[in-house]
Amino acid sequence: MADVLFKLKNVHFSYLGRIPALCGVDLTVAKGSRIAVIGANGSGKSTLLQMLDGLIFPDQGTIRAFGTELKESVFCDEDFSANFRKRVGLVFQNPDVQLFCPTVKEDILFGPLQLELERKKIEERFAYLVEALSIQGLLERPPHQLSIGEKRKVAIASVLIMDPEVLILDEPTAGLDPLTTRHIIDLLCDPSSEKTLITSTHDLHIVEEISDVVYVFGQDKRIVASGEPEKILKDEDLLRQNNLVHIHRHRHEDKTHAHPHLHIEHHG
């Protein structure tokens, strides 16, 4: 029980009080676990991640983080707020939302400066990330001039520099070319890291690598299945019902046929 970082019980949330986004979600996140959240568009994945980051709060039900129930009021306590922000980092789905400073360098440094982390530690992390993400040439550039792949790298760097214990990623590989995707996954899935990783994605190719447990969100905005990646990715019916199966259409001489593409076939 001591290892539980987040615990959600029957969580409901709606936007403007009338557009439901989460309808009875139960979820437990253990320390050091790697969780993938998959589901169709509009199934509530991003809402869940923002709730885990203490940006929105349940209309009904409870969410506990590090033993404390998350409510708007607890973030009025400056110590709790600063401690929580140091421990939990969220990479937003849209990097344009996250990159608001005049230069890439300032954007990366924004978080640790707000949290008043130790200067020496900031400089070390900064140097490491710049090297690891190969973004030396981008540092003095305004974020709006970057490509989508570069923006995403910078957005990830802007969170990793805070070295959070829990890293939450909202579709980190959306819109990226295969090589950049590979690079980012390698960085995030560092085997020596003990970080808790919570990733929302549509990219079933990466699910096995980034997770030990997969939660599938249904159109009814609740978790419809959970389990090990191998089990979930083999369940063709489950994937099909939740708009997650990849249908590939081929042409063989004069005939065209379509079939689903499973992502763990090579293990068979």
Partner 1 sequence: MKRNNFIERSLVGTLVFLKESVFSDDYAARRAFLQGLDPRCKLAAILMLLLAVMFSRNIYFLAGMYALCLLLAVSSSIRLGFFLKRTWVFIPLFSLFIAVPAIFEVFTPGQAVARLQLFGLSLTITRQGLASAGFFFIRVLTSVSLCVLLVLTTRHYALLKALRFFKIPQVFVMTAGMCYRYIYLFIEIIENTYLAIKSRVGTVPSTKKGQMVVAWNIGGLWQRSYTLHNQVYSAMVSRGYTGEPRDMNEFSAAGIDFLWLGTAFLILGLSLWQTYYLN
Residues that bind partner 1 (CB under 8 A): 50, 53, 55, 78, 81-82, 85-86, 89-90, 92, 94, 96-103, 106, 109-111, 113-116, 142-144, 158-159, 162
Q: Dig out the tokens for 56 from the structure.
A: 């929105």
* Residue with Cβ nearer partner 1 (77 or 228): 77
Minimum Å gap between C-beta 98 and partner 1 is 5
* Residue with Cβ nearer partner 1 (76 or 258): 76
* Residue with Cβ nearer partner 1 (71 or 261): 71
Minimum Å gap between C-beta 263 and partner 1 is 31
Minimum Å gap between C-beta 34 and partner 1 is 20
Helix H or strand E segment including 8: strand 4-15
**27 within 8 A of 50, measured Cβ to Cβ:** no
Minimum Å gap between C-beta 36 and partner 1 is 21
Q: Dig out the tokens for 123 from the structure.
A: 């400089």
Burial class for 258, CB neighbours closer than 10 Å (0-12, 13-18, 19+):
exposed
Residue with tokens 């885990």: 52
* Residue 234 CB partners (closer than 8 Å, separation 6+): 262, 264
* Residue with Cβ nearer partner 1 (50 or 242): 50
Where does residue 199 fall: left (phi above 0), alpha (psi -120 to 50 degrees), or beta otherwise? beta
The neighbouring-strand residues paired with 202 are none
* Residue with Cβ nearer partner 1 (3 or 145): 145
Minimum Å gap between C-beta 81 and partner 1 is 7
* Residue with Cβ nearer partner 1 (66 or 110): 110
Minimum Å gap between C-beta 217 and partner 1 is 20
Burial class for 107, CB neighbours closer than 10 Å (0-12, 13-18, 19+):
buried
Minimum Å gap between C-beta 59 and partner 1 is 18
* Residue with Cβ nearer partner 1 (198 or 214): 198
Whole-angstrom distance, CA of residue 64 vs CA of residue 47: 16
Query: Which of helix, strand or coil describes residue 245?
Result: coil
Minimum Å gap between C-beta 193 and partner 1 is 20
* Residue with Cβ nearer partner 1 (48 or 238): 48
Where does residue 172 fall: left (phi above 0), alpha (psi -120 to 50 degrees), or beta otherwise? alpha
**103 within 8 A of 142, measured Cβ to Cβ:** yes
Whole-angstrom distance, CA of residue 18 vs CA of residue 56: 15
